[in-house]
C-alpha cells in the first residue's frame, strides 16, 4: 500500500472511530440532560474543565511527542530506537499521571469551591482516577500513532466512550431513582469517565500484546545503529512535549474561564445562582458538545497528519508536506464549513430535536457558538501541521493570545444583560478566530507551507453559504408542510445536506475524480460515474 493511500486509510479509520465517539458523546448527553436537567449538567461541566486541565499534562504533548519521535525513527527503519522511545514514555507518563492524580485528590475541595458552586466536588472527585489510566494510555496511543497503525488508537477511543456512556447513564438513572441529591447524581455520572479510561487502556494492552511478536521481530531485525543516550531521548521528548502540553493547558484554561467567569458574571447581569448554573449548562453541556461533534473528522486528520508530515520532512520531501497539508485542510473545511453554518442557522430546531422542548434556551448560545466550528477546525489542522514540522511552540503562543481575548470578552460581554450567555459564546468564537488566524500566518511564514486558498477555503465557503441560504428560506415552507417539528427539522437538514453536495460539485469544491480515492465510497463512485 502506497504512503498516500496509507495516510488516507488511517484518516478514514480514525474518522469512523471519531464518528462513533463523537456521536455517542453528543447523543448520550441528550438523555443525560433530560435526566439531570440544566443545573445537573452545570455541576458536571463545572468539574470537567478542572479535570481536563490537569489531564492535558499527559494527554496532549506526550503522545504527540512520542508519535513524532517514533515516526522519525521508523522513517529511517530504526525500530529499535522507536521502541525505546515508547518504553521510556510509558515509565515517565505513569509517574506523571500518578503525581497529577494525587494533586487533584488533595485539592479537589478547594477547586470546587473556587468554581462558585461547592456541589461540583463530587463530580470532580469521581474523575480523579481517570488521569492515571489516561496517562498510561497516552504512551500506547503515541506509539501506535507513530507507527501509523491507527486501528488500536481508534478502537481504544470507541471502547472508552462506550463504557463511559453506559456507566454514566446507568449510574445516573440508578442514583436519581433512589433519591440521591443532584450533586451526588452528577458525581455518579462522572464515574463513567474513570471506567471509560480503564476500558480504553485495556484495549490498547490487548492490541500491543497481539502485535508483540511482530514488534519484537522488527526490533531484532533493526540495524545496530548508534544507541541514543536516555538523557538525550528524555530531553528531545520534553522539548517536543512541553510546548504542546502548555498549548493543551491553555485550551483547558479557556474551558476553565467559562466555568469560573461565566456563572459569576451572569449573576452580575441579574441572574440567580441556580439560573446562572442552568445557563452555563446550556452553553457548555448542550451547545458545546454539538459544536465539538463535527471535529471528529479534523481530529482524525490531525492524528494521521503529525506522523505523516514528520515522515515526509525526515525524507526531505517538501512537496509531499504541502500535498498532505492541503489534503487535510481541504477535507476538514469541506466538512466543517457547512457544519458551522448549519448549526448556526438551525440552532434552536436542532437543540429542540436533540434535547427536547425544554432545551429551547440552548439554541441561543448555539446560534453564535456554531461559527466556532470552522475556526476550531482551522486551529486544529494548522496546529497539527506545525507540530509535524517541529514548530510546536508557535501554536502555543497563538492559542494563548486567543485565551486572553476570551478572558477579556467573557468578563465584559457576559455581564451585559442584553447579551448574557450570548456574550460568553461570542467570546469563545472570537478567541478561536484570533488563534486560528495567527496559526495560518505562522504556517505561511514559519512553516513555509503553501496553501491553495481557492480550493481549501473559497469554494467550500461558497457551497456552505449557498446551503445556509437554501435551508433558511425553505424552513418556513417546510414547517408549514409538516405538522411535526421533528420531521420538519429532519427535512430541513436533509435539504441542507443535498443542496451542499450539489453546490460543492458545481463550484468545484469536490471533484468526482477525488472521490475515487476514498475507501468504500470510491468503489461506488466508479460504478456510478465510470462504469
Are both 411 and 460 inside the same structural domain? no
Are both 69 and 15 inside the same structural domain? yes
Other C-beta atoms within 10 Å of 511: how many? 11
Are both 184 and 268 inside the same structural domain? yes
**In this predicted structure, what is the pLDDT of residue 7?**
66
Residue 45 grid coordinates: 461541566
Final residue in a domain of this structure, among 451, 479, 495: 451
d(CA 383, CA 243): 12
Residue range(s) defining the domain that contains residue 195: 3-451
Are both 159 and 213 inside the same structural domain? yes
Final residue in a domain of this structure, among 451, 467, 487: 451
Nearest Cα residue to 284 out of 324, 314, 237, 252: 252
Radius of gyration of the chain (CA): 23
**In this predicted structure, what is the pLDDT of residue 121?**
80
Burial (CB count <10 Å: 0-12, 13-18, 19+), residue 9: middle
d(CA 489, CA 291): 18
Nearest Cα residue to 63 out of 12, 148, 135: 135
Are both 229 and 129 inside the same structural domain? yes
Are both 446 and 465 inside the same structural domain? no
Are both 486 and 401 inside the same structural domain? no
Are both 316 and 293 inside the same structural domain? yes
Are both 167 and 30 inside the same structural domain? yes
Query: What are the residues whose beta carbons fall under 8 Å from the beta carbon of 18, sequence distance 6 or more?
Result: 154, 157, 296, 297, 299, 300
Are both 503 and 391 inside the same structural domain? no
d(CA 329, CA 451): 9
d(CA 472, CA 259): 33
Are both 12 and 55 inside the same structural domain? yes
Are both 329 and 424 inside the same structural domain? yes
**In this predicted structure, what is the pLDDT of residue 401?**
92
Tens digits of per-residue pLDDT, 474-488?
Answer: 888 888 888 788 888
**In this predicted structure, what is the pLDDT of residue 8?**
66
* Half-sphere exposure (Cβ direction) of 385: Cα atoms closer than 13 Å: 31
d(CA 240, CA 249): 15
With residues binned 3-state (H G I as helix, E B as strand, rest as coil), the percentages for the chain, rounded to 5, are 85, 0, 15
Other C-beta atoms within 10 Å of 52: how many? 21
d(CA 509, CA 454): 9
- For 328-382, give the DSSP string: HHHHHHHHHHHHHHHHHHTHHHHHHHHH-GGGGGGHHHHHHHTTHHHHHHHHHHH
d(CA 152, CA 144): 7
Final residue in a domain of this structure, among 400, 426, 451: 451
**In this predicted structure, what is the pLDDT of residue 408?**
92
Other C-beta atoms within 10 Å of 357: how many? 8
Give the long-range contacts of residues 265-270, CB within 8 A, separation 24 or more: 265/410, 265/411, 265/414, 265/415, 265/424, 266/414, 266/415, 266/420, 266/421, 268/415, 269/414, 269/415, 269/416, 269/417, 269/420, 270/417
Number of structural domains in the chain = 2
Burial (CB count <10 Å: 0-12, 13-18, 19+), residue 523: exposed
**In this predicted structure, what is the pLDDT of residue 523?**
55
Query: What are the residues whose beta carbons fall under 8 Å from the beta carbon of 531, sequence distance 6 or more?
Result: none
Task: Name residues of the chain where pLDDT drops below 50.
Answer: 525-526, 528-531
Amino acid at each position: 500500500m502506497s504512503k498516500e493511500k496509507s495516510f488516507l486509510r488511517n484518516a478514514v479509520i480514525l474518522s469512523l472511530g471519531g464518528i462513533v465517539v463523537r456521536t455517542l458523546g453528543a447523543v448520550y448527553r441528550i438523555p443525560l440532560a433530560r435526566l439531570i436537567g440544566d443545573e445537573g449538567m452545570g455541576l458536571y461541566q463545572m468539574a470537567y474543565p478542572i479535570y481536563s486541565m490537569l489531564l492535558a499534562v499527559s494527554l496532549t504533548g506526550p503522545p504527540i511527542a512520542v508519535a513524532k519521535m517514533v515516526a522519525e525513527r521508523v522513517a529511517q527503519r530504526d525500530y529499535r530506537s522507536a521502541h525505546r522511545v515508547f518504553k521510556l514514555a510509558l515509565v515517565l507518563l505513569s509517574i506523571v499521571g500518578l503525581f497529577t492524580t494525587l494533586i487533584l485528590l488533595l485539592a479537589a475541595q478547594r477547586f470546587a469551591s473556587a468554581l462558585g458552586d461547592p456541589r461540583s466536588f463530587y463530580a470532580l472527585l469521581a474523575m480523579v482516577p481517570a488521569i492515571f489510566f489516561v496517562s498510561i494510555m497516552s504512551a500506547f496511543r503515541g506509539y501506535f500513532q507513530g507507527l501509523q497503525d491507527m486501528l488500536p488508537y481508534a478502537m481504544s477511543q470507541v471502547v472508552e466512550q462506550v463504557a463511559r456512556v453506559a456507566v454514566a447513564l446507568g449510574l445516573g438513572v440508578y442514583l436519581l431513582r433512589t433519591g440521591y441529591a443532584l450533586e451526588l447524581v452528577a458525581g455518579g455520572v462522572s464515574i463513567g469517565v474513570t471506567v471509560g479510561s480503564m476500558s480504553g487502556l485495556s484495549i490498547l494492552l490487548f492490541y500491543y500484546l497481539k502485535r508483540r511478536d511482530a514488534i519484537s521481530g522488527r526490533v531484532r531485525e533493526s540495524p545496530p545503529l548508534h544507541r541514543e543516550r536516555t538523557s538525550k531521548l528524555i530531553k528531545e521528548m520534553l522539548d517536543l512535549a512541553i510546548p504542546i502540553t502548555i498549548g493543551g493547558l491553555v485550551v483547558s484554561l479557556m474551558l476553565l474561564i467559562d466555568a469560573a467567569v461565566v456563572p459569576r458574571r451572569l449573576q452580575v447581569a441579574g441572574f440567580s445562582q441556580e439560573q446562572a448554573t442552568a445557563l452555563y449548562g446550556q452553553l457548555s453541556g448542550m451547545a458545546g458538545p454539538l459544536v465539538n461533534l463535527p471535529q471528529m473528522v479534523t481530529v482524525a486528520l490531525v492524528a494521521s497528519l503529525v506522523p505523516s508530515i514528520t515522515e515526509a520532512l525526515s525524507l526531505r520531501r517538501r512537496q509531499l508536506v504541502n500535498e498532505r497539508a492541503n489534503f487535510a485542510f481541504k477535507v476538514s473545511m469541506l466538512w466543517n464549513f457547512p457544519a458551522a453554518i448549519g448549526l448556526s442557522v438551525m440552532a434552536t430546531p436542532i437543540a429542540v430535536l436533540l434535547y427536547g422542548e425544554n432545551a429551547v434556551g440552548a439554541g441561543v448560545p448555539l446560534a453564535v457558538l456554531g461559527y466556532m466550528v470552522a475556526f476550531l477546525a482551522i486551529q486544529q489542522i494548522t496546529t497539527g501541521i506545525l507540530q509535524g514540522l517541529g514548530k510546536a511552540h508557535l501554536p502555543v503562543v497563538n492559542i494563548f493570545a486567543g485565551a486572553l481575548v476570551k478572558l477579556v470578552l467573557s468578563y465584559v460581554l457576559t455581564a451585559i444583560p442584553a447579551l448574557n450567555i450570548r456574550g460568553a459564546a461570542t467570546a469563545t468564537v472570537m478567541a478561536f478566530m484570533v488563534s486560528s488566524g495567527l496559526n495560518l500566518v505562522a504556517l505561511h511564514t514559519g512553516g513555509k507551507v503553501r496553501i491553495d486558498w481557492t480550493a481549501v477555503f473559497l469554494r467550500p465557503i461558497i457551497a456552505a453559504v449557498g446551503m445556509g441560504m437554501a435551508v433558511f428560506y425553505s424552513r418556513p415552507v417546510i414547517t408549514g408542510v409538516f405538522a411535526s417539528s421533528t420531521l420538519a427539522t429532519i427535512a430541513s437538514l436533509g435539504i441542507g445536506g443535498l443542496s451542499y453536495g450539489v453546490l460543492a460539485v458545481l463550484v468545484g469544491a469536490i471533484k468526482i475524480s477525488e472521490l475515487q480515492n476514498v475507501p468504500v465510497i470510491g468503489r461506488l463512485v466508479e460504478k456510478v460515474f465510470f462504469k
